[in-house]
Structure 1
Amino acid sequence: MLSRFLSPALPVPPSWYPGHMTQFTRMLPALLTRTDIVLELRDARLPLTSINRTFEGALARWRTERSRLSEHAALASPQASARVCERVVVFSKRDLVPEWGLEPFRMAMATRFPEQKVLFASWNKPRDLKSLSSLLVNIAKDHPHVPELNVLVVGMPNVGKSTLLNALRNIGIPGPTPKALRTSAQPGLTRALSTRLKLSTDPLVYAFDTPGVMLPFLGRGERGAERGVKLALIAGIKEGLYDIESLAAYLVYRLNVLDADAPAYLSLLPKGAAPTTDIDQFLGLLAQRLGMLKRGGIPDRQRAAAWFIKWWRDEGGSVYASAPPAAAASRRAGWGFDLEWEVGPAPDGSGRESIQKRMEECIDAYMLGVEQEESDGGAVSSTQERKRVREEKAAKRAARTRAKLAAKRGG
């Protein structure tokens, strides 16, 4: 069994924030004025990393404004109904994380974010899609005074927004329904806001598909580097921005953390191979097993690394998800790639600890780290800071110019 192991050296996170993302972020406040339900998609494998802080401020202002409008309406007419303002967070790819963690994590999220409705879904499970469709329809039925409900679907790239909307249309609209949106395994296909898509005819529910939006800056130091590698592994950011062996090294490390006794990659190696923390050894063994050899019998580590990452996305996640929780006496364990905790005797001597409690601690630690990062300026790149300074100087110059012109007219 592996004992302690350190995270490999991680590359500096790349900058990847195409223009269409900037454009959508600027449009978001106006879009929210005609939105009743924000449906945010996150990846269950990265339930915390796929929180997009870009949205948080705009959504907080949206809730405040909706509350103000509801109060004004109630003062004008006691019979007036509150404005619809619902936030639904759907964690996609639920089949790629272990089932034993779904309910504890849902309860942990409900404890920490009671204003959010949380669901887990896999697009290949009709029951999950029907549950989400029913949730949207029931929200509409709870507000019969609203003639139609508008749903804004947001999330990071490649989280499955377009695929979800196509599936919800098939469920909510009787008869054959043509596919409305193109989908792709590569991030960044949807580059503009879609036209309204009808998801239900009775009651009327419409939705907008939006471009995937990355964080403008992934962060400084190890925290930002790890965010970038995690997102690249799930194809949420362009894989070509990274050295493929660096991604493979982090994937081996993370699978070791999840199960040091029998990591999910073990079945790929020659019979009798043991878990390892040595990426060169791992890729050499894998290349030998797959017959990926260069001239002279030298293992082709690049090809092996690319194959390994593709295996993880296509099959490996399911291998990991189907395994029972690791049961070592004292070690680290986790769920997905974001939640990690010490496993050991509980304070009451029972030898068991609440998974939900550990998950709540992980959420608290993550959110505290994000707040600290933002207060220290670590969430803004030097390029963004220079741009902000230039914009402030330009605004001051424009204000001085307007003041001079006003003074001349007044004189």
Structure 2
Amino acid sequence: MLTHIPFPPLPAPPSWFPGHMLQFQRMLPTLLNKTDVVLELRDARLPLTSINQNFEGALQKWKRERGTEFPTGIPPLRDASATTPVAGPSMGAACQRIVVFSKRDLVPEWGIKPFQRAMAAKYPDQKFFFASWNSRRDIKALNELLVNVAREHPHRPELNVLVVGMPNVGKSTLLNALRNIGIAGPTPKALRTSAHPGMTRVLSTRLKLCVEPLVYAYDSPGVMLPFLGKGDKGAERGVKLALIAPVFPWLLTYVEFSVRTETAGIKEGLYDTETLASYLLFRMNVLDPVSPAYLRLLPPGSPPVVYVQDFLELLAQRLCMLKRGGIPDTARAAVWFIKWWREEGGLASAAAPALPATASGIGLQSWRRGWGFDLEWTVDAAEFGRYDESMIQAKMEECMSRFEEAAAEEEREGGAISSTQEKKRAKEEQRARQQARTRARLAAKKGR
């Protein structure tokens, strides 16, 4: 087993923010005026990193304007001759924000309930739902959740749902699945889907999800952060997103081409696959330092590996990926490793236990544990005997608090804005000052 897992060095993150993302971001406040329910999709493996702060301001304003006019967001009914509210159907505007964590089958089951409770305690105005698009039961439960919201507002002719989130979290796939559950009979696929992000570039037409009651939904373009951050935090954020879903869709294609043609290096500004492999190796070791899922790829009896170069050499030999002279082809092995993890290894990693059964007998003073790619904490030897769901929830809440503190500090230090954006902002401010001076001079001349 591993007792020391060093954090790998990571490069600065590249940016990917096409014009259609900016366009949708500007449209969002107007769209929310016609929206009753926001389905915000996040990846269960990145429950914090996949929060898009660009949405927060617009969503919070929407909640304030539509959801807090009355204590519950629902105005009380009054009898014509009475001065006190009476019971009856809701007449208020629907205003629900439901955060759906996709790919629940790719995170350990033991952490789902503690995480849900931790999020509900921290964000009581939001609902949280875990789902796998492969599970009909999950899709049916989410469909029932939307139908219940519609039935709580029977005076409204229809319920309008807006689906938002980062690229490639499965928005179009979810809506196709909800439509299949909610509409009786054969339902053709209404929205195109792709393994690469960026397929949806404009707001979709209305998609009917249910007939009785009427529920409609809009698919939206995935929106990335314009800048992933500075320093180690930004570097790790970029690598996480690149691993979870190919946020940079040209990356693996280019690397595979480079490997086949044996060209040196990689296109400037993109991640080297060995960098992605090194972070993936680190994260899998944290998830299970005793028996990480990648051991099944190595020769039988191999111990866990700390350094990526050693691991890739072993993997290349195991897969017979050799260059001339029998030299292990680590570049090809890195591409294969990342592809394996996306297709099979994620499921294997999700089987990692909350705490290894041998934890108390090894004599370690503490264990480093993790859930998904965002949450990581230490379990002291004194806590081994009472390591249950309530303690896991407390550890997760600490992780969330640290995440929020780091995000606030990054915001104060200007870490959420790139140097290019800073220059652009400075030019806009200078232009605004010049225009103000020009208007002042013209006003002064006119007043003479």
Q: Same fold (TM over 0.5)?
A: yes
1:98 alignment partner in structure 2: 108
In 1, the alpha carbon distance for the partners of 2:8 and 2:99 equals 32
Mapped pair 1:112 → 2:100: no
In 1, the alpha carbon distance for the partners of 2:64 and 2:446 equals 41
Match of 2:329 among 278, 300, 317: 300
- Residues 67, 94 of structure 2: 8 Å contact kept: no
In 1, the alpha carbon distance for the partners of 2:313 and 2:75 equals 69
In 1, the alpha carbon distance for the partners of 2:76 and 2:305 equals 67
Alpha-carbon spacing, 1:73–1:154, altered in 2? closer, same or farther (3 Å): closer
1:200 alignment partner in structure 2: 210
In 1, the alpha carbon distance for the partners of 2:204 and 2:70 equals 28
1:217 alignment partner in structure 2: 227
1:345 alignment partner AA: A
Mapped pair 1:383 → 2:420: yes
- Consecutive unaligned residues of structure 1, counting only runs of 5 or more, are none
Match of 1:187 among 197, 201, 208: 197
In 2, the alpha carbon distance for the partners of 1:118 and 1:380 equals 30
Alpha-carbon spacing, 1:76–1:394, altered in 2? closer, same or farther (3 Å): farther
Mapped pair 1:267 → 2:302: no
- Residues 41, 165 of structure 2: 8 Å contact kept: yes
- Residues 156, 236 of structure 1: 8 Å contact kept: no
1:82 shift after superposition: 2.2
1:405 shift after superposition: 4.7
In 2, the alpha carbon distance for the partners of 1:246 and 1:88 equals 35
Alpha-carbon spacing, 1:47–1:68, altered in 2? closer, same or farther (3 Å): closer
Across the two proteins, how many residue pairs are aligned to each other? 410
Identity of aligned residues (%): 64
Aligned partner of residue 340 in structure 1, secondary structure:
strand
In 2, the alpha carbon distance for the partners of 1:351 and 1:122 equals 30
- Residues 346, 352 of structure 1: 8 Å contact kept: no
2:434 alignment partner in structure 1: 397
Between 239-248 and 221-230, report the one with greater CA deviation: 239-248
In 2, the alpha carbon distance for the partners of 1:73 and 1:280 equals 59
Aligned partner of residue 381 in structure 2, secondary structure:
coil
Between 67-76 and 17-26, report the one with greater CA deviation: 67-76
Alpha-carbon spacing, 1:204–1:399, altered in 2? closer, same or farther (3 Å): farther
Between 361-370 and 76-85, report the one with greater CA deviation: 76-85
1:130 alignment partner in structure 2: 140
1:345 alignment partner in structure 2: 381
Mapped pair 1:369 → 2:406: yes
In 2, the alpha carbon distance for the partners of 1:117 and 1:257 equals 29
- Residues 77, 91 of structure 2: 8 Å contact kept: no
Structural mapping, 1:246-325, within 5 Å: 246-325=275-354
Query: Could you report, residue by residue, the CA deviation over 1:317-359 in whole angstroms, capped at 9, with x for unpaired residues?
Result: 1111123223224210111111111112346x84436111111
1:42 alignment partner in structure 2: 42
In 1, the alpha carbon distance for the partners of 2:331 and 2:438 equals 58
Larger gyration radius, structure 1 or structure 2? 2
- Residues 97, 335 of structure 1: 8 Å contact kept: yes
Mapped pair 1:334 → 2:380: no
Mapped pair 1:60 → 2:52: no
1:178 alignment partner in structure 2: 188
2:10 alignment partner in structure 1: 10
- Residues 288, 352 of structure 2: 8 Å contact kept: no
Give the RMSD, CA atoms, in angstroms. 2.2
Query: Could you report, residue by residue, the CA deviation over 1:258-299 in whole angstroms, capped at 9, with x for unpaired residues?
Result: 111111111100112111112111001101111111111111
1:376 shift after superposition: 1.4
1:236 shift after superposition: 4.8
1:399 shift after superposition: 3.6
- Consecutive unaligned residues of structure 2, counting only runs of 5 or more, are 79-84, 252-269, 361-365
